[in-house]
Structures are given as C-alpha cells and as structure tokens.
Chain A
Amino acid sequence: MTEYRKMDCDLLVIGAGMAGMVAAARAASLGIRTILAGNSGSLIFVSGMMDYLGVYPMEARKSVADPALGLAGLRAAEPDHPYGSVDHEQILQGFDFVKKVLGKAGLAYHLSGGRNLSVLTAMGTLKPSFMVPKTMEKGTRLFGETAEKKSLLVIDIKGLQGFSARQVAAGMEHRLARVIPVTVEIPGISQTIPPIVLAQLFEDPKVQEAFVRQVLAFSDKVDIAGMPAVCGVHNSLGIQQRLENLTGLPLFEIPGLPPSVPGLRLKNAFETSLAASGVTFLSNVTIKDPVFNGKKFTLTGSTDNRELSISAGGVVLATGRFPGNGLHARRERIVETIFHLNVHQPVTRSLWHGTDFLTRQGHLVNRAGIETDKDFRPLNKRGAPVFDHLYAVGSILAHNDWIRLKSGAGVCLVSACAAVDRFHKRRSKAGP
C-alpha cells in the first residue's frame, strides 16, 4: 500500500551527503523550517577528513602548506571555482561551524590553526587536510616543517583487509626515526572482518584489553602508535584515551579504504544534530518532479511505500555527482537528474578523461557540473539564475575538481553555509 502525504517547509535540502547535512544544520541554526531528504549512506564512504585546499596549483604535484595562499592563487586564476564566491574568512567560519555542530553531537574534530595538516594514510602516503577527527590529530604532529623525527609503531589487525602495517611502515621509513610494524590479533576473528564490525568489537573492554596486551611490549620502544580507524563507532575519543592510558602510548587513527568508520561516525553525528535541531529528515526518500508555481516549489518524494508531496519556499540541491546520482552521464552527455539544469561540460565525451589515470591536470569530467551566480544559484544557458530560490551546493558544482585540489569537504561546507545564509537574507528582506 502506498501512503500519500503532504508536507510543507521553508527550505528543502535534497541530498544527505556532506553538503546536504551541513546545509540542513545551517538552516536549522538560523531557525529555518527545514526538510532534508536523501540517503545519508553516502557518508560511509568519506574518509572523515575535511580538506580546505590541499594542492594548488595541480601541476605542482605537492601540497600547499598554507591554504590561504593557495586560495589567493586559485581565485585569481579560476574565478569560476566555487571558492571564487567566498573568501578565506568565510571558509574558516564554515569549518568552525561544522566543528561546533559535530562537537555538540559528541564527535570531536581538530581544526588546523592555519596550515595544512599531513595525515598518514593506510597506503603509507601522506595526505594534506585541514580538519580531522580528533582521533587522528596526534598523527599529524609527526610531520610538518618543525616536527622532530619520532619512532612510530604501526599496528594492523589480523583480518582487516586493505591495511598492512608493513606497507605503511615501508612508506614512512625514510621520514621517521624508526617505524615498527606489528600485527595484533583480536580473539574471535576467524577470517576477515569489515571495518565497521571491527569498530563495534573495539567497544568491548575485553577486546581493548587484548589489544593493549599485544601493544604493551612496544611501549618503551616507540614514541607513538598509529592504528586503523576502528577505535569504536561511538565514543571513539574515549576509547582511544582508554587505550592510551593502558598502553602508555599516544595513539592516532589512520584512515583507509571505505566503508569507513570515521564516515559512519560523521553520519551518526549529523543525524543526532538534525534530530536535536528540529530538522525533518526524510531518509531514503528520492526527490523528483519539481514544479514551481511562481511562489513555491512542489516536489515529489518517494520511497518504496510512500509518496510525499513537499512544498518549499526554497530548495538546496546537494545531490552530489555521479556516485550520488546528482549528475548522470549518458553516452553522449551529462545531465542533472532532478531539475534538468544546464550542466557545464566538455563538448564531447572524448574530452572527459585524459589518457593517464593519475594525470597531474586531473580529468575534465571532474570540472563538469552546475554553474552558479555568486549566491550559488544555478544559471540557465543565458547566464541568469533559473529560480530565485534554487541553490546548488557541494560536489555538484562546476569548476571544482576536489579530488585533485584536495578541497572536498571545504567546498561542500562553505557552499552549503553561504547558500543557506543568502537564502535566509533574501527571505528576511522580502518579508514572510
């Protein structure tokens, strides 16, 4: 039986990834009556790190130490990049806003004081980021211009695939005084274990103690220890502190292959925050068929057994790219899936991708997307906003190759905050 229902709100946010979550949280903080629709499952893929601008220019093939400097270069050379519509201060405020939202929901993040942080990954590579889960913070202190060379214990866990302490050690040997790889065995794991299940196991004190017993032997040989990001799903920082107390070693988490535990923690924290701030969250609802009657939008939201008719004064489109399905690529061209907006893209498919996967310049398809005005309102072919109160935020935006620039979460959160702020301002001006 299909159930029909009508709903009404000031702002409908479509998409519950990084950008949609931040937009909804921002709207709630401004007292806007908000509905958020979408599948927050996509957050389980994200690494948990939040980048500002890690690399600029791309050709440099290395990270920038100071993202503000990179931003200046980027804004000058590529004014159409989403960061062209905001400034450094706004970006910092965006990070700070998200940090507070997550903090209130019990998930602690460490925000850089200004320089990019170097995060050790499960590949044994370093990745520049700007705000990382507190449980990753101590690792970032191993690197950087002034860091002295420390001895590191890298721990992997038997049965956790895609994470080898030896591999991480091989990547770090030349950077640190000493790196010792060790494998810890958790009782009861027979073959392989998915990271999220392992993280749940880590909430069990018996598992923690087994871990500690095997790490203890190294306590006086190293200064610090890194482990996969599986330190519990809930209360990860508390569990980490307990392990630190028992081993006598500072610990940090190392991000790895999805599905990602830090991603799950983010999802949980955002959902806690939404619930507390009164946002209506329609999880697993797919939005389609938008109609604008000159004043309000009406859209259909559907699940397997529900049809919702949602009317909204404004809409924030945060539906992501190809994996999120905000953009869809046909053989001949790329389309936007809900409003059929104009998608900025290369003229033919043969230009979408370069011949080298790891190309310095990045692939042009990653710069395809929705072009907007300075208020993040999508433009039609003539360069005018399609609707007064339709906004596009996050990775769906054009001219934004976040993969190469290391600016994923940064663009999501600052575009989300800016769009919602501008919607709010415009609405208050126009009166209720």
Chain B
Amino acid sequence: MEKTIETQVLVIGGGATGTGIARDLSLRGVRVILIEKSDLNAGASGANHGLLHSGARYVHSDIEAAMECRSEGLLLKQIAPHCIEETGGLFVAVPGDDEAYIADFPGMCERAGIPCRPLDVKDAGQMEPCLSPLLIAAFEVADAAIDPFKLSIENMNHSLAQGGKYSNHSQLKEFIRKDRKIIFARILDTKTNETSRIRADIYISATGAWAGFVAAMAGVDIPMVYSKGSLLVTGQRMATRVINRLRQAGDADILVPGGVVSIIGTTSLRVKSPDNIFPSVDEVDLIINQGKQMVPDLGSRRYIRAYCGVRPLIGSGGTDDRDLSRGFCLLDHANDGVENFITITGGKLTTFRLMAEKTSDLACERLGLPSVCRTRYLALPQTEGSGWTEPGVSLGQGSSFHGREEMMCECEMVPASAIDAIVAGIRKNRAVPDLLSIALRSRMGKGPCQGSSCSLRVLSHLYNRGEITGPQGVDGLRRFLNERWKGERALLWGTSLAQSSLKEMIHCGLFCLELGQGDLP
C-alpha cells in the first residue's frame, strides 16, 4: 500500500515560482509541501540570465511586463539584497542598429515610468571599457544581477523554517480525479522508484515549461510552445554593469555580470520539448559573432560554460517567440472543470514574487482562508551555507573561509567546510547528498577545470565522512560528469579543449568510468 501524506497545498515545481509560493503560503500559515522531480532550479530558474530587469528591455514589446519588472525589481532590492548585486545597466547601439528604435527608446521608458539617462557615447566607453569604440547611442538604466540559485534556496529555507516541507527527486506522475476535484496526487521517488500519495486541498502547478504536461494529468489542455535560449559564461567578468543591446530583442544582446564571471546570451529557438536540450555549437558561434559587435572582446574570450533554458510560451505565437508576451499566466482551472487545481507559468525571474503572491491569493481564496501576503515587506532571511552559489564568493565578501583550510575546488575556491555546510543543509531537507546536489548549491566544478579533480576530491571526502556508502557514489560521479558535459561540449576549443581532454583522460582513460564495471575480469 502506498504511503499517503496530507497537506493543505501541494506545490509542484521547485523553481523560483514554486519556492516563492511555498514561502508565501508558509508565511500565511498554510501547510504546504513542495515537490520537485529533480532538484531546486532544475528548470528555467537554473538556466536563465540572472538579470533583474529594470523593465527597459520590454518597453517596446510589452509595457505591462516592463512596469511589473520595474516595481518588482525595486521591491526585491529591498527584501533580498543578499541575492542581488546592484550593478546598474547600459543600453547601447552600434552602427547598423535601428535608428528609429533608438530615438523612441527614452520616450518609451518614460511612458513606463522607467528611469533612463542618456549618456555620451564617450562616457559610456569610459564606464565600460569593454564596449565597442563604435557606439552610436547609450543610455543608463537600473538593471541589476540576481543569483537565482541563492534566491530559490533562501525561499525554500524560509518556507522550511515556517513548517513547510520540501521533497526533491519527487516527480508528479498522476492526478487522481473524482468529479470536479483532484483527490490525490501520485508521486514517484526517482531515486528509489517507489510511489506515494499526497492528498491536498489545493494543487498548484508551478512547473514552468512543463505546465502543459502537468495540466494534462488533470485532464486540462494548455497549448504551449517552447523557446530555447542558450547562454555562455566567460572565464572572467567583463563589465561592471549589465550591458544591453539597444535594439528590438535579438540574439546575444545582453551581457550580465555574475560575481567573477559574465554571461552573454541569449538565442531563441523553437524546440519540440523542454527536455533533453543543450546548447549547440551553432548557437555558440551565433552568440559569439553577434555579441562581439557590442563587446569586441567576446570574440576572443575563454568561455567556461554554456547552458540553456526553455521559455514556456502559452498559445502559438507569430514568427519570433520574443514577441510573445513574457507576462505571466495564472490559470484557475475551476474554469476547466477542476476546482482545486491552479497553474502558474510564464513570467520572469524578476516577477517571481508577484507571481507567487497572486497564486497564493487565489489558493487562499479557494481554501476559504482570509489572509494577507507578507512577502512584499518581509525581508528574505539569509541562511548559512547558501553563500556558495555565487562565483568567487570566497574571494570577496566576508565568508567564514580562512586561508589554510582544506580546499576541495581550487578553481572556485570552495573549501571542505563549505561542502560540509551544504551537505548538512541537504540532510536537513531529508535528502541524500550527491555531487550534483552539491554542485547545484555551490560553484564547485564550475571553474576552468570543469570539475576534473574537485569532483573526485569531493566524492572521496563524502565517502570518508560516511555521507556516501556503497557503489552509488561512482554513479553519482557519472551523473555529475554528464550533466557538466552539457555545458561544456559546444565550447571546446583552445585551452578549454585541452582541459577537457585531460579530464577525459583521467575519468575514462584512467578510471574507466565509461565501462560497465560488472563485466570486467
């Protein structure tokens, strides 16, 4: 017999939106369980640009979204400063860019109430020396950089502290319906292959690009298209501010700093499914060739990682998916004949809090609970062990790291004590640590060596601490290597290829991880 757990609200999906909802509801005193089929930020929340939009980007295509970004951006800077770096941002144009668009831009910003200051192109070049010397226009806006990993981890931690529950590797498999209601959800533990039931009053799908699949389990149709976007991480930070190309949204027109690196992207490609996607060699070349028009150095930079995410777009749009609204989409499925089922999808990282608020309002209304949202004013607490997602954090701001400590990841300076703190955090959620879950919560393995040695050091450390027993550690290593590979393979030339070859020599040439060990003599 399957085990059954009861709760008031079941949230499906552990991205920014789902964790935001879990936090919001917990703060309202609602009992909530969040399930995630993989681990926190496995979807778009872990594969985006990390830009806290000032809104200027959308003044032309979607003024409502632009205004939402502006007000939410301001709010997040107040309540979650530890997840945000207030970099400021520039919009710049190079010869050939649409003059009419440039001329309209300040007016459009003003209409949306978004502060935008015209700059002399020479001043812009001095503010950001990496910019092309050929600029024809420049404006300053209030963009910022946000660490999406830290954000989701802290959201979830805050919910846990209020009595919320989180379960990773737990995939929604089935809704069991009776008349106009879902009576329980069947959940698969993807690690043990066991199923269990969760019985809730309200079911919220915050599954981003997967919302169509989840809705289908409740017998509801949400027509969706998927747009893949790829991004490249440079080995070093290239600019102080966010740099946007001043034109209609196109490929590779935003460069966002993140700690000691910069991220350039994105592309926009229709894909058939949100699963099994990775950045392609062609996309990488496109991003570099486009990006270097704005920042010439992008043509010769060393890139350490590529990644991609999927934007869910509701309904089938026109030719360019970027024209489809990036506003969010809250669906009350009572309208589709399922009274206790809600979907929230689309939107942006920047507006996650607002999305969570609106969704929680609707859920509480359905529950018949009079309640007020507290996330608009209440600061997001900073917890221990969450500071390791940010690149180079140990080098900069005050962390507890001391020079002589045992180092696990030398590229990213992650000491053993950080690994231990992260593992303790994972254990607190009653989850089992492995290399992937640690990598998700830290910069481990994300430096130039792409995890060739640190993966092995961390693995043996985990064995020595008794955190891993039996043969599953090496399987975890295989999963880690294959996951890292997705971000590596399209970027392998020059030094990166040399380093990656060395990694393959160690992991395959020497340790034979590609062989099925059962068959060896």
- Chains A and B come from one and the same complex: yes
Give CA–CA (A166, B470) in the complex, Å.
9
Binds A, one of B107-115, B186-194, B433-441, B513-521: B513-521
The one of B461, B482, B514 that contacts A164, using a Cβ cutoff of 8 Å = B461
Chain A 51-76 interface mask (CB, 8 Å, partner B; 1/0): 00001000011110100000000000
Give CA–CA (A355, B501) in the complex, Å.
15
Q: Which residues of B contact A49 (CB under 8 A)?
A: 510
B481 contacts chain A at the CB level, 8 A cutoff: yes
Which size class do B's interface residues fall under? 35 or more
Chain A 121-144 interface mask (CB, 8 Å, partner B; 1/0): 111111110000000000000011
A353 contacts chain B at the CB level, 8 A cutoff: yes
B163 contacts chain A at the CB level, 8 A cutoff: no
Which residue among A125, A145, A161, A363 has the maximum number of chain B CB atoms within 10 Å of its CB? A161
- Given the known interface contacts A61-B519, A353-B492, the answer about A365 and B505 at a Cβ–Cβ threshold of 8 Å is no
Q: Do the beta carbons of A358 and B498 come within 8 Å of each other? A: no
B5 contacts chain A at the CB level, 8 A cutoff: no
- Given the known interface contacts A121-B511, A191-B406, the answer about A163 and B282 at a Cβ–Cβ threshold of 8 Å is no
Give CA–CA (A406, B508) in the complex, Å.
9
Q: Do the beta carbons of A171 and B509 come within 8 Å of each other? A: no
For window 347-402 of A, CB contacts with B under 8 Å fall at 348-350, 352-360, 363, 365-366, 402
Q: Do the beta carbons of A63 and B505 come within 8 Å of each other? A: no
A45 contacts chain B at the CB level, 8 A cutoff: yes
Give CA–CA (A381, B448) in the complex, Å.
35
Q: Which residues of B contact A331 (CB under 8 A)?
A: 285, 288, 493-494
Q: Do the beta carbons of B492 and A352 come within 8 Å of each other? A: yes
For window 322-352 of A, CB contacts with B under 8 Å fall at 322-323, 325, 328-331, 348-350, 352
Q: Which residues of A contact B84 (CB under 8 A)?
A: none
Q: Which residues of A contact B464 (CB under 8 A)?
A: 156, 164, 166, 183
- Residue of chain A at shortest CB distance from B504: A403
Q: Which residues of A contact B494 (CB under 8 A)?
A: 328-331
- Given the known interface contacts A162-B460, A166-B469, A329-B497, the answer about A121 and B510 at a Cβ–Cβ threshold of 8 Å is yes
Q: Do the beta carbons of A257 and B514 come within 8 Å of each other? A: no
The one of B407, B492, B493, B521 that contacts A65, using a Cβ cutoff of 8 Å = B521
**Tally of contacts, chain A with chain B, CB under 8 A:** 172
A321 contacts chain B at the CB level, 8 A cutoff: yes
Which size class do A's interface residues fall under? 35 or more
The one of B281, B486, B501, B514 that contacts A348, using a Cβ cutoff of 8 Å = B281
Give CA–CA (A143, B519) in the complex, Å.
12
Q: Do the beta carbons of A45 and B512 come within 8 Å of each other? A: no
Give CA–CA (A167, B475) in the complex, Å.
12
Q: Do the beta carbons of A323 and B512 come within 8 Å of each other? A: no
For window 442-466 of B, CB contacts with A under 8 Å fall at 453, 456-457, 459-461, 463-464, 466
Q: Which residues of A contact B510 (CB under 8 A)?
A: 47, 49, 121, 127, 255
Q: Do the beta carbons of A123 and B456 come within 8 Å of each other? A: yes
Q: How far is the CB of B103 from chain A (nearest CB, A)?
A: 36
The one of A55, A163, A352, A403 that contacts B505, using a Cβ cutoff of 8 Å = A403
Q: Do the beta carbons of B485 and A62 come within 8 Å of each other? A: no
Q: How far is the CB of A44 from chain B (nearest CB, A)?
A: 12
Q: Do the beta carbons of B511 and A323 come within 8 Å of each other? A: no
Q: How far is the CB of A199 from chain B (nearest CB, A)?
A: 18
B506 contacts chain A at the CB level, 8 A cutoff: yes
Q: Do the beta carbons of B456 and A162 come within 8 Å of each other? A: yes
- Residue of chain B at shortest CB distance from A61: B516
Give CA–CA (A402, B512) in the complex, Å.
12
Q: Which residues of A contact B469 (CB under 8 A)?
A: 166, 170
The one of A127, A323, A350, A357 that contacts B282, using a Cβ cutoff of 8 Å = A350
Q: Do the beta carbons of B460 and A62 come within 8 Å of each other? A: no
Q: How far is the CB of B36 from chain A (nearest CB, A)?
A: 24
For window 480-494 of B, CB contacts with A under 8 Å fall at 481-482, 484-486, 488-490, 492-494
B373 contacts chain A at the CB level, 8 A cutoff: no
B473 contacts chain A at the CB level, 8 A cutoff: yes
Q: How far is the CB of A72 from chain B (nearest CB, A)?
A: 19
Chain A 239-258 interface mask (CB, 8 Å, partner B; 1/0): 00000000000000001011
Q: Do the beta carbons of A191 and B404 come within 8 Å of each other? A: yes
Q: Do the beta carbons of B512 and A406 come within 8 Å of each other? A: yes
- Given the known interface contacts A62-B520, A123-B511, A406-B509, the answer about A170 and B471 at a Cβ–Cβ threshold of 8 Å is yes
Give CA–CA (A122, B502) in the complex, Å.
17
For window 165-202 of A, CB contacts with B under 8 Å fall at 166-167, 170-171, 183, 191-192
Q: Which residues of B contact A363 (CB under 8 A)?
A: 504
Q: Do the beta carbons of B514 and A358 come within 8 Å of each other? A: yes
Give CA–CA (A145, B485) in the complex, Å.
36
- Given the known interface contacts A121-B511, A121-B512, A166-B463, the answer about A126 and B492 at a Cβ–Cβ threshold of 8 Å is no
Q: Do the beta carbons of B481 and A358 come within 8 Å of each other? A: yes
Which residue among A128, A191, A348, A358 has the maximum number of chain B CB atoms within 10 Å of its CB? A358
The one of A143, A257, A355, A402 that contacts B521, using a Cβ cutoff of 8 Å = A143
List 24 A-B residue pairs with CB atoms under 8 Å apart, sorted by A's residue number: A47-B510, A61-B519, A118-B521, A123-B511, A124-B474, A125-B513, A125-B515, A127-B512, A128-B512, A164-B460, A164-B461, A166-B466, A167-B468, A171-B517, A183-B464, A191-B404, A323-B499, A348-B281, A350-B281, A350-B490, A353-B492, A357-B485, A358-B508, A404-B514
Listed in ascending order, the chain B residues whose CB lies under 8 Å from chain A are 278, 280-282, 285, 288, 404-408, 453, 456-457, 459-461, 463-464, 466, 468-471, 473-474, 477-478, 481-482, 484-486, 488-490, 492-494, 497-499, 501-502, 504-517, 519-521
Name 9 extra pairs, CB < 8 A, besides A125-B513, A353-B492.
A122-B460, A123-B513, A163-B460, A192-B406, A257-B506, A329-B494, A355-B486, A357-B485, A357-B504
